[in-house]
Structure 1
Amino acid sequence: MPSLFIAHGSPTLAIEDNLYTQYLTALGKTLPKPKAIVLFSAHWVSPVQTVSNVDEFKMIYDFYGFPDEMYNIVYPAKGYKDLTIDIVDLFKDHGISFRVDETRGLDHGAWVVLRLLYPNADVPVISMSVNPNLSPEEQYKIGASLFKLREKDVLIIGSGGTVHNLRALNWSKQSGDADGWAVEFDDWIGDHINKWDLDSLFKYDAIAPNAELAVPPYGNEHFVPIFYAMGAADNEKKAKLIHSSYQYGNLSHSVWQFG
């Protein structure tokens, strides 16, 4: 299986029918069906890497002021405790600090994406936290510790967004041309991902054009899942941008495939 970085955009993707939601639905039908999914969500931030260990996930509606129908969505994803054990063993082997969580449900960074890819909730899921206070190199190493899972038909996903600045959005602009500063940032990121230029990527916040606008200091948790997803393909170091579009002027809808 590849690993993927998938932008989860606005929560309303859960009820929208547009080019991006259509793409993610088609992607789920195109990929080989995985044995399980390990998903790092920008909406689960913790100081220590945390891995879920549940039988069935509850729903977390971690958004406010959206249409009522969104709070009625249920995605009954099941966990996979044997896979949690495998992940714990890999973390121990690689000296990665971790804890196991047996109560947390799925946040919208997870279930919006999963529901579009696998609407029948018939693929078990392991939910993973991210830590935006780690260095990109440390985030990458956490992903890299899991690359062997891909050989066991496990799909690893980082769910976030390369350009995700809520204060810069134009909510009246559903589609159309994207803001130049957002495209310039994404182009720079894409160029260095394609080269697997980790030295530059790990310093993106200092050297990428428009980095502070694209990835504001208060919102870098949405960008960092890309390092976890890249790390999971460290043994191959191959990347391909398989979708790119924008909503609200600069909210990026990018999907990267690694491996």
Structure 2
Amino acid sequence: MDIPARLPALFLSHGSPMLAVQDSPAGRFLDGLGRELPWPRAIVVASAHFMTDRPMLGGHLQPHTVHDFGGFPEPLYRIHYPAPGAPDLAEEIAQRLADAGLPARVRENHGLDHGVWVPLLRMYPQADIPVVPLSVMPHGDATAHYALGQALAPLRDDGVLVIGSGGFVHNLGDLDWAHPDAPMTPWAQEFAQWMHAALAVHDIDAMLDWQQRAPHAHHAHPTVEHLMPLFVALGAGGESPTVRTLHRSHEFGSLALDAFAFD
């Protein structure tokens, strides 16, 4: 019996849904990322666009592709990502979370939102790896999501790729929509630099208290759901993981598309 290779936990910024089709630094990065990793037997994605009041997992055998956005070019709505689901794995994860004191449920009819299928379409375009979506809790804090990730960490030794899909800096109301290539604004740059520095020295206490300690925290994330997948991935990296910055880029002045591996 082959022993699956140990996989890192990943945080990926999924940006605009146009990431699925546009040529961009972030898109080209994702195109190569899947080939650089050991092949997973399944993928669990904690998505900023799957929001619930407690942990929930998608358990559909053949999840549908959800186009949960508006105002984009029509061909984007014709894209489908027909990856199979993994109901048994979803139930296993729900039990792991319950054992860790995190009561979870499985939603049998849940599909794949664009926080799931956009990065996976670039990484694994063949769509033949089973996928389990995992919710984030917009009323939960970083500590709760870090604990959620810690409960998922053992999956990495069983060939399961754990991904947090969100946004490193994400304030849609302050984007320079007219200038996709605009320089990064100072406030976004200061927030991102603080986060990078805290991750580099594995300052978990500072990271978990990011809303009080990071400069421009509320400006960078007026709502928290796009940063919470980072804490899921960080927790899934295990105790004192190696933190690798995989990618840094931005769009529209402040939409930071940074990506990290924790292993």
Out of 232, 235, 241, the position equivalent to 1:237 is 241
Amino acid at match of 1:2: P
Matches within 5 A, 1:120-131: 120-131=126-137
Matches within 5 A, 1:1-259: 1-216=7-222, 219-259=223-263
2:110 and 2:89 map into 1 onto residues whose CA distance is 17
Identity over the aligned pairs, expressed in percent? 39
Does the CA contact (< 8 Å) of 2:64 and 2:112 recur in 1?
yes
Amino acid at match of 2:174: A
Amino acid at match of 2:152: L
Amino acid at match of 1:152: D
1:70 and 1:223 map into 2 onto residues whose CA distance is 25
The C-alpha deviation readout for 1:55-93, integer Å capped at 9, x for no partner, is 111111111111000110011011112212321221122
Structure 1 residue runs of 4 or more that deviate by more than 4 Å after TM superposition: none
The C-alpha deviation readout for 1:7-44, integer Å capped at 9, x for no partner, is 00011111201121011001111111111100000001
Deviation of 1:121 after TM superposition, in Å, equals 0.3
1:51 and 1:222 map into 2 onto residues whose CA distance is 18
Deviation of 1:122 after TM superposition, in Å, equals 1.1
1:137 and 1:144 map into 2 onto residues whose CA distance is 10
Does the CA contact (< 8 Å) of 2:94 and 2:103 recur in 1?
no
Q: Report which stretch shifted further, 166-175 or 246-255.
A: 166-175
1:176 and 1:65 map into 2 onto residues whose CA distance is 22
Deviation of 1:52 after TM superposition, in Å, equals 1.3
Give the CA RMSD over aligned residues: 1.1
Amino acid at match of 1:203: D
Amino acid at match of 2:187: W
TM-score by structure 1 length? 0.96
2:243 and 2:112 map into 1 onto residues whose CA distance is 28
Does the CA contact (< 8 Å) of 2:47 and 2:229 recur in 1?
yes
The C-alpha deviation readout for 1:190-227, integer Å capped at 9, x for no partner, is 111121111111111111111111111xx210011100
Deviation of 1:133 after TM superposition, in Å, equals 1.2
Deviation of 1:231 after TM superposition, in Å, equals 0.5
1:204 and 1:89 map into 2 onto residues whose CA distance is 30
1:193 and 1:181 map into 2 onto residues whose CA distance is 19
Deviation of 1:176 after TM superposition, in Å, equals 4.9
Unaligned 5+ runs, structure 2: 1-6
Amino acid at match of 1:80: A
Amino acid at match of 1:178: M
Does the CA contact (< 8 Å) of 1:139 and 1:227 recur in 2?
yes
1:168 and 1:92 map into 2 onto residues whose CA distance is 39
Q: Per the alignment, in what secondary structure is the counterpart of residue 127 of structure 1?
A: strand
Aligned length: 257
Unaligned 5+ runs, structure 1: none
Does the CA contact (< 8 Å) of 2:62 and 2:82 recur in 1?
yes
